[in-house]
Amino acid sequence: MARSLADRLLPAPRNGGFRMEGYWVWCGSVVQGEDGRFHMFASRWPKRLPMHPGWLVASEIVRAVSDTPEGPYEFQEVVLPARGAEYWDGRSTHNPHIKKIGDSYVLYYMGSTHPFADVQPGEDYGLEDPRCIAARANKRVGIATSQSVFGPWERKDAPILPTRPGRFDSFLTSNPAPCVHEDGSILLIYKARRYEGHTHGQMTIGAASADSFQGPYRVLTDEPVFPPDRFHIEDPYVWKTEDGYELIAKDMEGTLCGEKHSGIHAYSADGKSWSLFEQPKAYSRRVTWDDGEVQLMGNLERPFLLFQNGKPTHLFAATADGSGGFRNASNTWNMVIPIAPE
């Protein structure tokens, strides 16, 4: 029997991954470019804002590069900057997930906007701020495309996954996780919330499909693909296997794999009906570094697998120091954990 993903995780390089002085860094997604180097698309926002919910109004997607998958990655450019409140993604771009599809680089992401003034230095900002409330309600999934990993990137005038009134995704769509099939068609797993008057429903996971990355994208089920009464998860990552699909995601409560905010591992024949593996834990927040230290990270989420020659070779994850939770972090960065062969 093949070893589980959790059992194959190797010590993490202490000096690997990607971080930036003065910024919160999150959401690492990596592709090998036409130059043979490894390009990480990540989210960042200034530390003058709180880590959470600063990302909702000031996140931007950037590109960093390394000669090796482990890094360290060096900042290169802002890929999707703010572009004005009148655009659906004009105030925040977040949750990048990069794919090479045929001759195109396709960047899936969450975008949002709000009609108010930007948060100024020294100004209070939190979850009850009108800018935060509006930005959360305006979260949508979209794509940007380029013929080169260096850009330029073409952004769309509308999201690919709008909300659907009366459905589980009537309030927002976010956290896109695309799986590309050999024929170029797409299975897209995503996070959603239902509109419930002055508030919103709990996190749910949906599935959509498209004949190509350009769309249109069709939601496959009327209900979430993970029953929300049993599966409280987010941050999905999905890939194709000989038997169907596999997925890893963040366990919000720890009720599925035994450790809060660690990762679950699930499988599906069709992308719509999912079950947990017999060993459901995909990874732990307890990390072993290459200098021998074992550390319980404050956060370890937004998992992304780098595949090389059809096999997963590295797990990337957004991580934070501190005692746990967004508000207790002093620093965040994207780390990388090498994966041993099966």
Q: What is the pLDDT of residue 342?
A: 87
| Predicted confidence band of residue 199 (pLDDT cuts 50, 70, 90) | confident
Q: What is the pLDDT of residue 2?
A: 65
CB 15 within 8 A of CB 69: no
Average pLDDT over residues 120-147: 97
| Least confident stretch, 20-24, 240-244, 323-327, 335-339 | 323-327
Q: What is the pLDDT of residue 324?
A: 87
How many whole angstroms separate alpha carbon 321 and alpha carbon 300? 10
pLDDT beyond 90 at 27 = yes
pLDDT beyond 70 at 251 = yes
Helix-helix angle 51-58:130-137, to 10 degrees: 70
Q: Which residues contact 123 (CB under 8 A, 6 or more apart)?
A: none
Average pLDDT over residues 297-319: 97
For 211, the token pair is 């004949």
Instruction: Say what percent of the chain tops pLDDT 70.
Output: 99
Asked if the peptide bond before residue 53 counts as cis, ω within 30 degrees of 0, the response is yes
CB 264 within 8 A of CB 240: no
- Greatest Cα-to-Cα distance within the chain, rounded to the nearest angstrom: 57
pLDDT beyond 60 at 181 = yes
pLDDT beyond 50 at 121 = yes
- Predicted confidence (pLDDT) per residue in 97-119, tens digit: 999 999 999 999 999 999 999 99
Residue 302's SS3 state is strand
pTM for this prediction: 0.97
Residue 289's CB is within 10 A of a number of other CB atoms, namely: 16
Which sequence spans correspond to the domains of the chain?
16-159+298-342, 161-284
Residue 243, phi-psi category: left (phi > 0), alpha (psi -120 to 50), beta (remainder): alpha
pLDDT beyond 60 at 1 = no
Q: Does domain 161-284 have CATH number 2.115.10.20?
A: yes
